[in-house]
Chain A
Amino acid sequence: MLLNMKRTFEMFVDREGNPPPEFEPSQKVKIATRMAAEYAAVREPPTTMPVASTAAAAGGGDKDVTRIVSRLDEEKRAKEYAAAAAASGSASLVLYAPSTEAAGGGGATAGAGGALVVARRQGPSVPKPTWHAPWKLQSVVSGHLGWVRAIAFDPGNEWFATGSADRTIKVWDLAKCAAGAEGGLKLTLTGHINCIRGLAVSPRHPYMFSAGEDKKVLCWDLECNKVIRHYHGHLSGIYALALHPTLDILITAGRDSVARVWDMRSKQQIHVLAGHTNAVGSLLTNAADPQVITGSHDCTIKLWDLVAGKSFTTLTHHKKAVRALAAGKREFSFVSAAADNMKRWQARDGMFLNNMRGHNAIINTLSSNEDNVLFSGGDNGSITFWDYDTGYPFQKMTSGVQPGSLDAEAGIFCSSFDASGSRLVTGEADKSIKIWREDLEATPETHPIDMKQWAKDYTARRR
């Protein structure tokens, strides 16, 4: 009895609060699986490098392996490894570091003990792009009498509005238009006296906003389909319009090379974001700082502090006019497009991340969806679909002109994914609206990623 109690005590009391002991064989299997699945690439260290010390792994390894691994955790673990290695004083290399350092092309890791280990400069590792189904044309809607220059989607995803050079805004039923059925046109709004360049539908109000080259910014009440507000103040044509995602603020930018911030309700102009030296062609708004990003024809991008009404960074990397901007949906970054290149930026501080090369045209529009697909449409009707993260152009094509149009009328002016991200609507120079969708029958086998070419392109441009 006493012996039994003692044994029980030994068994449980001293382990109180600790996790139960691990079952050895299952643990082994788990580690083996993880190694095969996640560390296969670095399982065998390169022969020229010193072999990672097993002591470091043994030091804090076991506990870490059992942890639920997220990306952040791995990073932390790598730091621990490095610390352990430094403490032991032995020259060691970090076995696994997150891709931030690997992409830097190697470098030096300084140990606290003064041992400086210089890794050999490696070639850039080619990131593997994620596979996306190719897109194809679903239907063509014609109804406008001029270039279609602006598109906005209803947040409910039932309809979309297009603004055209024929001075009208047309509201279309998405389902009917996509099916090519009759009666897709729901409404035509007139009120502008020049080409309409910016459209936005508010997700919190029954309002739609439009801006045009006639210097007018109008607020339409969608319950009675009438203009209820004018925002007066632009000195020249307006090229872009955006709504703030969280505040009741409207931002327009145009040929007078400023962006103007309007209070939606009182029609007052809150700020004039001046600083560009040429027309501002594109706009982006974010809920977090930078709340406004503008791309201009003076080849710069400015990130604005909305509170102070001043820019806090100017990005001068582009060589040609920046005509389009698109925000990433899964990360806080944005892509800018100019005739020379497309560039991805870190939004918070405007740090340059990577180029997206491959679309050799004057790019008029960019759109991205939640699946990390980025669309770029060119002034010559060329279309490229990109993998947002890696910058891999997975599909290149041209959008044909409507019968009866000139070849020169191939051109894409505006684009937008619908709220679900499964349809893409483009407004074109041949006065048509085209609706694209993913090819559902495509598989990675039928449309494989051309890794060879991609690796070639990727390494070539990093020279």
Chain B
Amino acid sequence: MATFLPAPRHQYAVRDDRGAIPTAPSRPKPVIPPYGQRQKFVPRTMADFGDGGAYPEVHVAQYPLGMGKPGANTAAAAGAVGGGGANSSAIVAVDVDASGKVKHDAIVKQGTNRDKLVQTQLNNVKEKAGDTDKLAVPTEDEEIATAERTRLALEKIVGVKVTSATPAGMISQQLATKEAEFVRYTPNPNAPGFNPAAKQRVIRMVEVQQDPLEPPKHKHKKVPRGPPDDPVPVLHSPPRKVTVADQAAWKIPPCISNWKNARGYTIPLDKRLAADGRGLVEATVSHNFATLSESLYIAERKAREETRLRADMTKALALKEKEAKEGELRELAARARMERAGISAPLAAAAGGGVQGEEGGVQGGGGAGDEDERVAAQQRERLRAERKKDRERELRLESMKGNFKKGKVERERDISEKIALGQLKGTGGGAGGEGLYDSRLFNQSAGMSSGFGDESDYNLYSKPMLDRGEGAGIYRPRKSDGDAFGDAEEQMKQLTSTSRFKADRGFKGTEAGVSHRGAEPVQFERDAEEADPFGLDAFLQEATKGGKK
């Protein structure tokens, strides 16, 4: 195909970048002599181990991967995470205990736990009786020694703090820092502004002078927390799973307040009611109250029963006595009648008294006025029966309770009730009487001027609705009171005629109680006496009469 195609006009250089990148200049690989020729070989760097372990035939302390290197771990611990590489504290040399077992707890006994007591054994969680020596109460010597040691150590700390806080201490501090420090400084040749003439400088560092009277400028700064201690094994079993019952016990309902609802949630009424605690307050009334009230009620009922019974009894007794008395009277009367009729008393007494005796007496009389007497007796009988009936009715009415007593009922009926019963005998109204009419309906010819009076007037109706015969004058002294309080009429007159209680000055424009009702001019009447105070007219009249005389 290339044969018949024209040759390309442009050429494209395609660069092959495979293997073209210059490899980083690698450090010369350390020459590790083969086994058997290592007499003079000392592995010093990490590379000398070639990712392998120690050379057992080389009798030099070796730290492949930095394991077990003295100072390596402490440095790593100080730098916390910064270690990195083979020197990091993540790698721990395998160590064995006296019985040849691997000490796995070495992994937790590094870092900050290096010089601490770390409990890692199963034995540490088992119950045991303690060590008698260690459980012994510290002796006085031990206590004193500890106290002295601690006191010295703490005094040092306190001393530093106290002196730094005192003015004298501050001055000494300032003096100490006032001494100039000299620092040798080699600038970076690649840095901008590098002066090749001064390859190295010596700098004198002096403390900036401070105004001792300057107000303090502190600002409380939050000191970040230091790195936490390395963890120690947790020597307790994992927490138990939370049961449903536990969860239910920990369910705390949301707080519902009657005063605050910042987010404006809609709270169901039942929740609100539950929140205000009215359900919580249980009204605890001693049941003794109930027993007391019940016994009181029972006692009252019993007492009422008893009084009723007693009243009944007395009434029955009274009735009986009355009847007995009546009977006696009747007997007496019969006897008297018989005596009058000429029948001997003993006979009547032998007859046994009573009505029968009387009748017997009557029959036994057999007189001429037989018929008349019989009629009279019948009449008397009827009257007696009537009277008796009346008495009984009265008795019944009296024995009616409270509000239903006859008189009271009549008195205390409501007006509407009375109207309904047709009992109201008012001035108008009622069934038969004339009606109660609006007074304005009459006297139509006078027009509205006569119909509507002043606002304060009360003359809407022609008559008061009820004719309170006795009610109208109850506040007026009665005639009968006259003997007690003097003559009522006279007093009344005196009271009404006197000007003692009249105001000496009225309101302006309302003098003399002018009524503005009418439109016609006020008419005055001449008082006869006033017109002739000295009796001149009368004298003249007399004089003229006398002249005629």
Contact = CB atoms under 8 A, between A and B. Distances in A.
Interface of A: 71-72, 75, 98-100, 103-104, 246-247, 249, 261, 263, 266, 268-271, 274-275, 277, 286-289, 291, 299, 306-308, 311-319, 330-333, 346, 348-355, 462
Contacts of B115: 312
Which of A98, A99, A307 has the most chain B CB within a 10 Å cutoff?
A307
B136 interface: yes
Given A319-B239, A352-B125, A353-B129, A289 B134 contact: no
Nearest to B139: A288
Closest 9 CB pairs of A and B: A288-B138, A287-B143, A246-B147, A103-B129, A313-B117, A307-B153, A354-B127, A346-B130, A331-B135
Given A274-B226, A311-B229, A317-B235, A247 B147 contact: yes
Nearest to B131: A346
A75 B157 CA distance: 44
Nearest to B129: A103
A351 B130 contact: yes
Contacts, number: 134
B116 A316 contact: no
Contacts of B154: 247, 249, 261, 263, 270-271, 306-307
Given A246-B144, A332-B136, 5 more contacts: A103-B128, A247-B154, A288-B142, A316-B236, A332-B134
A299 B132 CA distance: 28
Contacts of B161: 266, 268-270
Contacts of B131: 100, 346, 351
Interface of B: 115-119, 124-132, 134-138, 142-144, 146-147, 149-151, 153-154, 157-158, 161-162, 165, 226, 228-229, 232-237, 239
A316 B234 contact: yes
Given A319-B236, A352-B124, A99 B129 contact: yes
Nearest to B225: A274
B119 to A, nearest CB: 7
A313 B115 CA distance: 10
Given A317-B236, A346-B130, A354-B127, A266 B135 contact: no
B158 A266 contact: yes
Contacts of B124: 351-352
Contacts of B232: 314, 316
Contacts of B157: 270-271
A332 B130 CA distance: 10
A344 to B, nearest CB: 8
Nearest to B229: A275
Contact of A319 (B119, B127, B146, B237): B237
B237 to A, nearest CB: 7
A289 B147 CA distance: 9
Given A287-B146, A288-B142, A288-B146, A313 B119 contact: yes
Contacts of B146: 246, 287-289, 291
A462 to B, nearest CB: 7
Contacts of B151: 247
A332 B135 contact: yes
Contacts of B125: 317, 352
Contacts of B118: 313-314
Contact of A353 (B127, B147, B150, B165): B127
B137 A331 contact: yes
Contact of B137 (A249, A274, A332): A332
B135 A287 contact: no
